[in-house]
Structure 1
């Protein structure tokens, strides 16, 4: 019985550790975009509509510009969310979900592993961005809580899970 328990713990450690062993190249998820294409102060900006705080960044680009994988990812969902409109959710290294919202088009299907730089879709204004300037809303969510990141800001406990995309892209 004890040997089985150790085997399960060892297997879980290998799976979790494996997520940290995957190479993590990092590119801005909009083709041709630079740091000048987003406002550096919008991550965790408040007030931000019904969500309270803005848990990502908006990368502005022309409608139809390519949205690309910012790192090596497994596409786990493509479809519609109310506020996000046409969205893609992809699992990347270190057990992080990359969320792409307000897309005009979706190219990649769920279940595909794609390398950094692969076209996932196109910048748009779907969801609650309808009628606003075309942009990609980009968020990163850690599936493993980072308790040290929590603070006393509004919804600051959620910072255990939400990673600042600007820091991620510019490190």
Structure 2
């Protein structure tokens, strides 16, 4: 059992170097018009204080696709995100997919960019709201060049990439 976990850890560490990064919109058929470009780090935003991602609106049941290749490190349910998938991809970035109607991804499996991992829904704290995918990207290690002292929770900005910039190719991190 110990060797299995060591192999998994080694695979994840190596994957951060070797996985090519993709910039794919994670909702089938969606375009930039399906989210508000300034919703990232919007304040005030519910219990979390700021909105650490973007909401991509689509019909319920539309496939959610992996935005970048990586290892599925978690699938499950929580009170805020509802049905969620967390993928560790290139540059040790965590790709967070929340409010899914259903989860199709399996934990500890490699997924390729564009592979279906679930479906758009309104679970968690999105219950009763229009169906959408909450999509966020978090760095494993802090990036000082992302620090923005003018924003609420400024220390936290070092860990999050703006998904709008990432998906439109304007991210140079």
Under a length normalisation based on structure 1, what TM-score does the superposition of the two structures give?
0.88
1:100 to 97, 100, 105: 97
| 3-state DSSP of counterpart to 1:128 | helix
For 1:120-159, list aligned pairs within 5 A: 120-152=117-149, 153-159=151-157
**What's the CA shift for 1:150?**
1.0
2:77 to 73, 77, 80: 80
**What's the CA shift for 1:54?**
0.3
| 3-state DSSP of counterpart to 1:158 | helix
Q: Determine the structure 1 residue equivalent to 2:42.
A: 45
What CA distance in whole angstroms lies between the structure 2 residues aligned with 1:79 and 1:16? 23
Q: Determine the structure 1 residue equivalent to 2:56.
A: 59
Q: Determine the structure 1 residue equivalent to 2:166.
A: 168
**What's the CA shift for 1:18?**
5.8
What CA distance in whole angstroms lies between the structure 2 residues aligned with 1:31 and 1:126? 19
Render the CA deviation track for 1:119-168: whole Å, top value 9, x for unaligned.
00000000000000000000000001101211221001111101100111
Superposed CA RMSD: 1.3
What CA distance in whole angstroms lies between the structure 2 residues aligned with 1:16 and 1:54? 29
Contiguous gaps of at least 5 residues in structure 1? 1-14
Contiguous gaps of at least 5 residues in structure 2? 1-11
Q: Could you list the runs of 4 or more consecutive aligned residues of structure 1 that deviate by over 6 angstroms after TM superposition? A: none
| 3-state DSSP of counterpart to 1:102 | strand
Q: Which has the larger radius of gyration?
A: 1
Q: Determine the structure 2 residue equivalent to 1:8.
A: none
- Give the aligned length: 157
